[in-house]
Chains A and B, each alone.
Chain A
Amino acid sequence: MNTMGSLPSDFAISLKAQPSSKTNANLPSLIERINIERGGFQTITEESLRQEIAEAELDNEDGDEDDTSDEEEEELDRMKELMTSREEMLGQIETAHQSAMFALDFVSLLLSKDTPVQASLSISPALRELVGMGTLGADKLHAPRITDAQKQDNKQIAKGWKSQSLNKTVDSILASASRLEKEIELETKYWQQVLAVSESGWSVCRLPNEKHTLGVRFGFSEASPAFKNRSLAALRRNPDGSISLDQGIVSSEPQILRVRIQSGNKQTGSSAVPQPAAENAPVEALILQARNTIFAEELWQELNREARSLGSYGVQSKDDTLVCPLSATKTAVFDLVPLGEASLTGPDDSMAEGVFISLNLLLSYAHRQNHRRRTQPPPPISSQKKIIQPYNLLRFLLTRLKHQETIGQLNHLLGSLCRVIELAQVKPLPSFKVTFTPWTPPSHISQAERTMLSLIDRLEGIATFSITETTTITITARTTIFPIGSTFALSLSPGSPLMSICPPHPVLTSYPALRDYIHYFTACTIATSISSVGGSGIDDINDGGQAVWHQTPHPTTLRTLLAPSVTGSKLPRTKQLSLSIQPLSTEPKTGVRMRAHWEWNGPEQPEHGSIGRRASFEATPLQKEDIQMALELEKEKKEKEEAEGEEGEKMRRVKGKGEGVYDWVMWETEDGKGWDEGEGEVFRSLESVVTDAGK
């Protein structure tokens, strides 16, 4: 039924010939026919089939009788059927004709190449115009020589290739899966380390050049631009997943600033130089090392820059080092050394370490100043150029050392003066006090800056020296940074008689000037205190007994008038007593000497013929005793001088009747002892000397 493809499948009439009973009743076609007729096997049973057969036989007998009544109707139907069938047949014939003509054209075209004359007879003109003669060719080919066996072979080969490719695919997928797994492992490890770095406080960011790589910022945000540019290092992943720090082209070996202290030409101390981090150290240690290196490099650069302006304080640049005198005896030598460099140790190590730490702190403080400066609202844009001053690193250090030196000097000065006066048994005993109070900066600055400021700014020490009850001098020592130096402001207690005698200069700018003034001032004070003991006018002539000394226009000199009866001459004579205090220095000791010197004043000389000053020994009975003692002491002194480290107090007596010199001497040794135990018990007080002088 469905063999005529152009007919719709529900076309009930079949144009095929009625199948004879002899046709091949193969089962599939039978089943198909039954399905179409009866719509399946479900409704069919044996019984119903037998019934149908029986009915069909009856119908055949009956059917022949009904034929004639239906003929007319059937004829009409058959006419219609015939007409439609005829039409269809004509169509089919037409189609067949067309197909045949196409076939003819095709064959003619094919033949037109080889036998154009014959082909042109049978080809249709339309095709000839459309395509042209001889445009189709045919060749006879040999039959493929591929035998069956070969075909089988090929099939096998194809199968083999397919399976091989599949295997390869599987393998490659497995390989990439395992590689991916490994990558993930490595990446996880890398990211864990990056997270560890970030959590320990380092700032991790993207590199501006390679946007896909992370880097760590280890520099300082307030450093100068040259160092800021180098403060980024890439965190790269090693093949084994660990992290490595890549500082790029400018990476340098780790370095640190080294401070060495020299006394004379010998090295006596050095700051510590740590060992470099090992190759396999954790990356945080490497980052820390990089940060310390960049800090040290910046410190070195800033020190050198500052040193150019500190030449007047003895700072010099020699070879690769900076030389900076710290005090009279010690010099600091700075240089930048790689980590791990060996260095000698010595007694001044702590000083070197202290200098190192303070320079580091000062650089951080300078960074803090930078931050403060740039976060304040800027001045308006104008033609004023901004000059960037070098940082003050060495300057603050030297200022602080200068201040300490000044305090020490004040202590020394006043201390030795007090000791000398004590030796001379001047009553009341003088006293002194030196205080240094650090400045307290205002509280709106941070604690760190306040600490720094109190160490480097407003360095002031106050010394008070009380010689008598009425005379107290106050010295305010101020150490300034620009320029480095100490100035001394002096003020006297208002009730002192010395206000009119030798008022202090309000400001002194050098220590020697201060020392000289203080010595002079002390001498004046003592002289004044002697002179105030006793009487008033110059007419008060001394008649034996206690001499009365009067002041002269020269504050350290006193004068007394002696009656003729004492001196043995006809007229009253004047005698002068002058006090002076001088510093002494012989290598390596320093000391201070107070000298009382008395002599006759005026052209008259005593009749006993004093040869004059410093002539032979001529002694009054009282003096003889002293001279003996002096001679003994001088012997002792010579013995002692041969031995080492003598200390002590010496007395010297000089000749001339009624004239003389008496010294009280105080040596400062390293351990601060004034005089030795076995020596110098015999000395005289100022009073007794003065009394003597008055005779």
Chain B
Amino acid sequence: MQELFLSSTVANEDLQRALRILQGYCGMKPVTFLRRRLIWEGPRARTGLKGVDQGIYKRQPLLREPHLWKGLHEQLVRQSYIITLLYDVDRDQFGQSEKMEVQDDEDSAKDEPAINFDQLPGSLRWTDLPDPAGGRPVSSRLIVNIENERGLCTILHTMNHRLNQEMIQESHRFVLGNVVFDFSRYLQLPPSETEPVSSIRIHLPAYDSLVPFDSENKWVLTASVLVFNGSNPDHIQKGIDELMTVKTDFEGCFDFQALERLVFDTRVKI
């Protein structure tokens, strides 16, 4: 699957106005969600990459989209990448540990179960380096999006991937026709005393303690279109046309650009 997209930035002070503008443009209220992004790094090797472990088909016979795993395997065999796992969270899941400290410690510590990520449904997202800007006014890259799957952490472990870091993504999403608008801000978790680094956190700290990844606290606005078959020029052209319409419509308001491709590089540096 190919993703065609354009990016722009919005300052934090302008966010509410930008949301209202898009609300009128798309005729819908924004869908807001918070996600945990677990960033896994592939093996640091150039050759001998094993890709997706073929044993997963046996262990998890209920895989929802096996053909997507095959596609992912083809990509991972030739190059090691950084893969992101996405898990939806609620706002009130933040700061649970602090709330618990306020309450009685003994009972609640025993009752609260550890979050087992393998039991939660999550999404796997792999994106390739965007294609070189050859005549296309938009950025375009291959993407594999495996949604609503369980046991992803275990799968990645078996593929020799290691958890690198975790970020929280706060997003507002709008849809118009084939174009998806996404306002995203990335927040970092403050270093924790109780839990070791490079492991998936069980307790999420309070929401207010999260630090924006970007020093200026900017939001990234992405307009993207997905095309099923990247080699069909008509479909690609249709996607490009829609994105260009968006760009001209918002001229003077948001400056949509096809950013430099290396900004989106997900290859593992050796």
Contact = CB atoms under 8 A, between A and B. Distances in A.
A382 B175 contact: no
Contact of A382 (B27, B180, B235): B235
B5 to A, nearest CB: 13
A381 B225 CA distance: 8
A381 B31 CA distance: 22
A28 interface: no
B178 A376 contact: no
A506 interface: no
26 contacts: A371-B28, A374-B28, A375-B28, A375-B175, A377-B173, A377-B175, A377-B180, A378-B175, A378-B177, A378-B178, A378-B180, A379-B226, A379-B228, A380-B226, A380-B227, A380-B228, A381-B178, A381-B225, A381-B228, A381-B235, A381-B238, A381-B239, A382-B227, A382-B235, A383-B228, A383-B229
B175 A376 contact: yes
Contacts of A378: 175, 177-178, 180, 226
Contacts, number: 38
* Binding site secondary structure of chain B: mixed
B1 interface: yes
B172 to A, nearest CB: 12
A221 B235 CA distance: 28
A385 B226 CA distance: 15
For the complex of A and B, 9 pairs with smallest distance between CB atoms: A382-B228, A380-B226, A380-B228, A375-B28, A381-B227, A381-B235, A378-B178, A377-B180, A375-B175
A272 B31 CA distance: 41
Interface of A: 221, 371, 374-383
A374 B225 CA distance: 14
A371 B177 CA distance: 12
A614 B97 CA distance: 90
- How many B residues are at the interface, by size bracket? 10 to 19
Contacts of B232: 383
B226 A375 contact: no
A381 B175 contact: no
A382 B173 CA distance: 22
B184 to A, nearest CB: 14
Contact of A381 (B27, B28, B173, B226): B226
B175 A374 contact: yes
Interface string B155-190: 000000000000000000101011010000000000
A382 B236 CA distance: 10
B101 to A, nearest CB: 31
Contacts of B228: 379-383
**Interface-central residue, A374, A381, A383, by most chain B CB under 10 Å:** A381
Contacts of B178: 378, 381
B175 A380 contact: no
A345 B119 CA distance: 61
Interface in B195-233: 225-229, 232
A388 to B, nearest CB: 14
Contacts of B235: 381-383
Contact of A221 (B27, B173, B175, B238): B27
A442 to B, nearest CB: 15
A378 B226 CA distance: 8
Nearest to B242: A381
A382 B1 CA distance: 10
B17 to A, nearest CB: 18
Contacts of B239: 381
A374 B175 CA distance: 7
Nearest to A380: B226
Contacts of B238: 381
Contact of A380 (B1, B31, B177): B1
A318 to B, nearest CB: 38
B4 to A, nearest CB: 9
Contacts of A376: 175
A383 B236 CA distance: 12
Contacts of B177: 378
A217 to B, nearest CB: 11
A323 to B, nearest CB: 37
A379 B31 CA distance: 17
B31 A382 contact: no
Interface string B29-64: 001000000000000000000000000000000000
